[in-house]
Structure 1
Amino acid sequence: MSDTPPQADTLFEFPCAFPIKIMGLADNALAQTVLEVVLSHAPDFDGATMEMRASSGGKYVSLTCTINATSRPQLDALYQELSSHPLVKVVL
């Protein structure tokens, strides 16, 4: 019988502050869409803390949202939903 905890497959100790970087097309709807998705998975996220940075050419934008992550399944679901959005190109 193993003495390893059930969450041993992760490098994180939950809950923890977890930054998520989302890169996508510079579209007015991107920030609002990302905020809605993040809030659906992390209701305590403060949208005022979202950081936005435009690419040098202005075609793309990166958003950083630091959430209070509570579990690996929460992060997996959030990454999946963000990655599947048509305006989002990369989620790190």
Structure 2
Amino acid sequence: MSEQDKPLLEFPTRFPIKVMGARHDEFSQTIFELVRVHAPDIVAEDIELRISSGGNYVSLTVTVTAISQAQLDEIYRAVTGHPMVKYVL
């Protein structure tokens, strides 16, 4: 296999996904539930929450144990499609 053909990630791997949106009481739980559909092994400790200095926005870093690129793609599609979400990195 050439360097070009090598996958960017080797699975399984711990992979952080940063999700940002307006501050809302249900934001963390909603994102947790969206991700859990595709990564059922996540627990609350896999989520790190930060609130913006102005208090208007929240940033979550959700770290999943990814088993495939397809799984990561599904998580990204689920999260980016939610109306509470502004950005996903």
TM-score (norm 1): 0.88
Deviation string for 1:6-26 (max 9, x for gaps)? xx4631001000001100110
Counterpart of 1:58 in structure 2 is 55
Amino acid at match of 1:14: F
SS in 1 for 2:45: helix
Deviation string for 1:11-60 (max 9, x for gaps)? 10010000011001100111111000111010111123310000011110
TM-score (norm 2): 0.91
Aligned pairs for 1:1-92 within 5 A: 3=1, 8=5, 10-92=7-89
Identity of aligned residues (%): 48
Which ranges of structure 2 fall in alignment gaps of 5 or more residues?
Answer: none
Q: After TM superposition, where is structure 1 displaced by more than 4 Å over at least 4 residues in a row? A: none
Residue pair 1:23, 1:60 contacting (<8 A) in 2 also:
yes
Q: CA 1:40/1:46 → structure 2, altered by over 3 Å: closer, same or farther?
A: same
Distance in 2 between the 1:12 and 1:71 partners?
A: 9
Residue pair 2:46, 2:64 contacting (<8 A) in 1 also:
no
Residue pair 1:10, 1:72 contacting (<8 A) in 2 also:
no
In the alignment of these two chains, the number of paired residues is 87
